[in-house]
Structure 1
Amino acid sequence: MMKLSDVQLSILKLLKDCRYASTRQLADLYFAESSSPRTATRRANLATKTLFEAGYITHLKRRIGGRRAGSGSYVWSITKTGLKHLRLNDPQIQVRFRNRYEPTAHHLEHTLGITQVYVELKKLDRLGKIELEAFSFEPASHRSFAKFTQNATLKPDAYAKLVIGNEEEFIFFLELDKDTESLSRVVNQCKKYIQYFNTGIEQRETGIFPQVVWVVPDRKRQVAIENRIQEELNSYWTLFEVITLEEFPDFVIGDSDE
């Protein structure tokens, strides 16, 4: 069993949690201090090449930006061998069979979108704008609760807890929207959050209910969801924020001024 560097181990842990990450995202996360973006990508390529040759990670046949984008366009995932390596230090990690089929374009875009939200938060952390205390991908972000006589599960795309200014704590449930679902389905998902809010579970554990943040592709979708939420959710609409990915960093930092 080969000895991994701290960065290579971090890449394995990330891929275990997020499922998919592009070379560009890995470069932004672990090699941002490089002299140039090209150097960062080259270093990320070297790290992934080592892990790939050891059988710890693999890449999809499909590339981000196509073949002309080069090796920096690969999308990576962890293998069963990679999970076994992580399990040496953490016996609680489950080594399960993973689907060998390529994900659909929609599923991949959605998953990489959540990874990108994590990348943006880590950038803010690195710049000293925030302190990212916790970030959970699915299924660690899920919450179980009782709904009437049945058990129910709320399934946020991610959960984040951060501190701004060394004192004020902000907690979010994150939902990534790619304008592929109907507005009715978006509202139904919001209603699940309201059901969970009304249990009081999160409030008892943390003292506050996380802000539910919908991250959307553009202003048109943002307005459509905002209007529908305000029309159908009565006073509960205040539990939700709808922003574009481009606005996300400013939204997070801006909370400190409220």
Structure 2
Amino acid sequence: MKYNDIASLIESLSGRDLAILESLRTHRALTTILIRRLHFPIGDEPRETGDSKRHATEMAAAVATIRVLTRLESHRLISRLHRRIGGVRAGSTGIVWQLGASGERLLRARHGDAARRRYSEPSPSFIAHTLATADLAIRLYELARRDRIELLRLEAEPDCWRTYLSAHGARQWLKPDLFAITARGDYENHLFIEADNATEHSPVIVRKAMQYQQYANSGIHQKEHGLFPAVAWIVPDSKRKLAIQTALSNEPRLRDLVTAGLFYVVTTDEFSALISGAPGSPGHA
């Protein structure tokens, strides 16, 4: 089927189709399985926005996911990267998707964006970090669907970036991977999130932590929200966790934030517990 204009193309798409495109716009790249988790709920999982329905089994959801993605690909709304996560053996679950030419044009028109966003084949390291960040975002959505938390706000890059003035008056950028505000009962959690793939040396982590300290000292965030968020590094394993904890604790210039308990280092498996923990967890208001 051919479409002569953006308006008729939008009308041909379901709510779930558009939600998938918006997810790719937000997160830049997603695997088939991440899209499945976000838009094709199973059994008693709550539904996502749009017209998605629950599927009886994970297999049924997987089949429906690849069917929809293939259809969107045929209209150049999305495209698959050449590299698969997990290699050929991963099958369709390891396919990495990004917006295609028509999808980028459609969303640009829908949002009134003038600047064209070009999509090319990213580097393996960029994709690995992008997918790790997207996985954490989707875990937050899943916690909210299961009523473990209220997800009041979630910003991905570049919306989560913050600007401030250094001590010398120069404009600086703080670039977290995600910013989230969640709630449980009467408590709110404010959190900057760093997705760590154990690819950077400890001095790089310390420099990033120093940026958070400088941003905290500017008082900009506290003026708007009444508190400074906690900062969480989400790491792949306990060895990496210990390495980052040690690096942060051994830096005298970070002592105030470390002592205040505003820096957290947890593994990916511990992330959900950190987010849905009882009062006293990071960044409570």
Q: TM-score range by the shorter chain?
A: over 0.9
- What's 1:20 paired with? 29
- Are residue 47 (structure 1) and residue 68 (structure 2) matched? yes
Write out aligned runs for 1:9-88 (5 A): 9-33=18-42, 34-88=55-109
Find the aligned partners of 1:107 and 1:255 in 2 and give their Cα distance: 34
Deviations 1:2-33 (A, max 9, x none): 22111111111111111110000010111123
Gapped runs of 5+ residues in structure 2?
Answer: 1-7, 43-54
Deviations 1:55-107 (A, max 9, x none): 11101111122222222221000123212212333214742223x2x222221
3-state DSSP of counterpart to 1:160: strand
Deviations 1:177-236 (A, max 9, x none): 111111011000000000000000000011111110100011011111112211212122
Find the aligned partners of 2:56 and 2:274 in 1 and give their Cα distance: 28
Report sequence identity in percent: 33
Write out aligned runs for 1:153-232 (5 A): 153-165=173-185, 167-232=186-251
Gapped runs of 5+ residues in structure 1?
Answer: none
Find the aligned partners of 2:114 and 2:36 in 1 and give their Cα distance: 26
Out of 136, 139, 142, the residue aligned to residue 117 of structure 1 is: 136
- Please tell me whether Structure 1 or Structure 2 has the larger radius of gyration of its CA atoms: 2
Aligned length: 255
Find the aligned partners of 1:71 and 1:93 in 2 and give their Cα distance: 34
Decide which moves more: 143-152 or 187-196: 143-152
| TM-score (normalizing by structure 2) | 0.85
Find the aligned partners of 2:207 and 2:62 in 1 and give their Cα distance: 41
Out of 129, 144, 151, the residue aligned to residue 171 of structure 2 is: 151
The RMSD of aligned alpha carbons is 1.5
Q: Verify the 8 A CA contact 1:80 1:96 in the aligned structure 2.
A: no
Find the aligned partners of 1:42 and 1:64 in 2 and give their Cα distance: 18
Q: Structure 1 stretches (4+) deviating beyond 6 angstroms?
A: none
Q: Verify the 8 A CA contact 1:154 1:196 in the aligned structure 2.
A: yes
